[in-house]
A and B are shown apart, each in its own frame.
Chain A
Amino acid sequence: MMRKWLCGVLAALLLAMGGCSAEAPETESLSFTAMDTAMTLSATGADAEAALSAVKEEILRLDALFSPVGEESDIARLNATGKAACSAETVALLKDGAAISHETEGFFALTIAPLVDLWGFSTKDYRVPTEAERVEAAALVDDAQITFGAGGEVALASGAKVDLGGIAKGYASSRAMEIFRAHGIKNASGSLGGNVQVLGTRPDGALWRIGITDPADPAALCARIEAKDTAVVTSGGYIRYFEADGKRYEHILDPQSGAPAESDLASVSIITPDGTLADALATALYVMGLDKGCAYWRTHADDFEALFVTTDGRLLATAGIAESVEPLDGYALEVVT
């Protein structure tokens, strides 16, 4: 009896050791710069290298198409003249953005560009505008004034300009996942400047473990989410900002006030399979603040989940994702119902 047990233990050990040395599926990674940010993509599978190459090519194409500058850019041409024939893809993305803008009552705005330019966030030549300048530029922010004609024609109200910076990376990450799928890839991930999107599970079958940057200390994490087949996009003002006269001015602008958003939130993370929606809602809910953000989730709970970090250090997860969230670094988790 004892001998059988011993044989069993040794066999299990040998199997475990054998398991350790078994060849893992091939995982390839690729890093590059596009859309004014650093991107890293990983894919597992026989066609991983070709898939990554195709995804990079696609993201560079989208960057050229949606960039605020450049001859190939639909957006640059549209902003230059206020009217342009755009590709079907640009029109579709503009319509998606305009729909989110309408749904969020303007807390997300495609036509935010005049304000972004005014504060110098587009040129990195920062300055604090006067109130009169802010009011004037904010009056140009109105996505309802974007009109769509036949043949891909898009027109803007006089002086208006669009900025796809709030959704282009999210759209690109969703496109990346489509390309991975077309190449037969079942496990892939992408970080497009911190916009995360994952396909399937990790190669070992476990859920992806996605860290949420701690807005109070961007070198640390405040939470970890376990998920699959989803985008996780975080908005916050803790990385991109400038200081003037002892005050910090963050890059996320409130379309209504024309000034940097000043809510009770330090960051918002949106979890949904649609990268475009995740990107736009992260910005919108950050500007809304906690109460309005939670109210918005309650009426759109089928579309997304959210994780809020408040300026006074609270961590709140919506009910649909709460069980997958592990608070880190001294944070405690509250559930939004």
Chain B
Amino acid sequence: MKRKIILGAVALSALSCVVVIGLYFHLADRSVIASIYVDDEVLYQVNLTDVTETTTLTFGEEGAQNVVEISPEGIGVIQADCPDQTCVHQGIRAHGPAPIVCLPHNLSIRFSESGSEDVDLVTGTGAS
């Protein structure tokens, strides 16, 4: 009887370890890397899960300029001198999969992991 209890305890411990390790790696995988591309080159990368302060970055020269804000809430274009302002209207995002795109300036913000919404694709990001 005692042996059975010990064997049961060992099995439960093994199962618990697997669950805890699995959860650890699952949560660790939740980090969201945002990459800012200009002309298809990565100019800046940030792990959004590590951001604690708000910073702004300016890309391009006047006439082809985007101001990107990175904050604990996410990342987005808060100012642009492009004519359509589509990138600004896309808001501040904390995760993908939909990228933020400024076509006139060939700037995009892409996410390496879709984050917590559990979707594969997003419709309506350009709103036909």
Determine the chain A residues whose CB is within 8 A of the CB of B18 once the complex forms.
13, 16-17
Determine the chain B residues whose CB is within 8 A of the CB of A242 once the complex forms.
84-85
Q: Is A3 an interface residue (CB 8 A)?
A: yes
Q: Is A208 an interface residue (CB 8 A)?
A: yes
For chain B, residues 5 to 56, give those with C-beta under 8 angstroms from any C-beta of chain A.
Answer: 7-8, 10-11, 14-15, 18
Q: How far is the CA of A40 from the CA of B122 in the complex (A)?
A: 11
Q: Is the CB of B11 within 8 A of A239?
A: no
Determine the chain A residues whose CB is within 8 A of the CB of B84 once the complex forms.
124, 240, 242
Task: Kindly identify which residue among B7, B93, B103, B121 contacts A38, using a CB–CB cutoff of 8 Å.
Answer: B103
Shortest Cβ distance from residue B12 to the other chain A in the assembled complex, whole angstroms: 9
> Smallest CB-CB separation from B108: which chain A residue?
A38
As a 0/1 sequence over residues 85 to 128 of chain B, the CB contacts with chain A under 8 angstroms (1 = contact) are 11001111110011101011010101000000111111111111
Q: How far is the CA of A218 from the CA of B124 in the complex (A)?
A: 8
Q: How far is the CA of A149 from the CA of B64 in the complex (A)?
A: 46
Q: Is the CB of A219 within 8 A of B124?
A: no
Q: Is A267 an interface residue (CB 8 A)?
A: yes
Q: How far is the CA of A304 from the CA of B14 in the complex (A)?
A: 50
Q: Is the CB of A224 within 8 A of B118?
A: yes
Q: Is the CB of B90 within 8 A of A239?
A: yes
For chain A, residues 1 to 51, give those with C-beta under 8 angstroms from any C-beta of chain B.
Answer: 2-3, 5-6, 9-10, 13, 16-17, 31, 33, 36-38, 40
Q: Is the CB of A124 within 8 A of B83?
A: yes
Number of B interface residues in the complex (CB < 8 A): 42
Determine the chain A residues whose CB is within 8 A of the CB of B108 once the complex forms.
38
Q: Is A238 an interface residue (CB 8 A)?
A: yes
Determine the chain A residues whose CB is within 8 A of the CB of B93 once the complex forms.
219
Residue from A33, A40, A194 with most neighbouring chain B CB atoms (10 Å): A194
Size band of the interface chain A makes with B: 35 or more
Q: How far is the CA of A191 from the CA of B122 in the complex (A)?
A: 8
Q: How far is the CA of A221 from the CA of B14 in the complex (A)?
A: 39
Q: How far is the CA of A211 from the CA of B120 in the complex (A)?
A: 8
As a 0/1 sequence over residues 204 to 242 of chain A, the CB contacts with chain B under 8 angstroms (1 = contact) are 000011111101011101001000000011111111111
Q: Is the CB of A33 within 8 A of B91?
A: no
> Smallest CB-CB separation from B18: which chain A residue?
A13
Determine the chain B residues whose CB is within 8 A of the CB of A198 once the complex forms.
121
Determine the chain B residues whose CB is within 8 A of the CB of A211 once the complex forms.
98, 117, 119, 121-123
Q: Is the CB of A208 within 8 A of B128?
A: no
Determine the chain A residues whose CB is within 8 A of the CB of B11 once the complex forms.
5-6, 9-10
Q: Is the CB of B123 within 8 A of A212?
A: yes
24 A-B contacts, Cβ less than 8 Å apart? A9-B11, A10-B11, A13-B14, A126-B83, A169-B128, A191-B121, A191-B125, A196-B122, A210-B121, A211-B98, A211-B119, A211-B122, A211-B123, A212-B124, A215-B124, A217-B91, A219-B93, A219-B94, A224-B119, A234-B124, A239-B86, A240-B127, A269-B124, A283-B128
| Nearest 7 A/B pairs, CB to CB | A234-B124, A213-B124, A219-B91, A211-B119, A193-B126, A194-B126, A194-B125
Residues of B whose CB lies within 8 Å of any CB of A are 3-4, 7-8, 10-11, 14-15, 18, 74, 76, 83-86, 89-94, 97-99, 101, 103-104, 106, 108, 110, 117-128
Residues of A whose CB lies within 8 Å of any CB of B are 2-3, 5-6, 9-10, 13, 16-17, 31, 33, 36-38, 40, 124-126, 166, 169, 189, 191, 193-196, 198, 202, 208-213, 215, 217-219, 221, 224, 232-242, 267, 269, 279, 282-283, 328
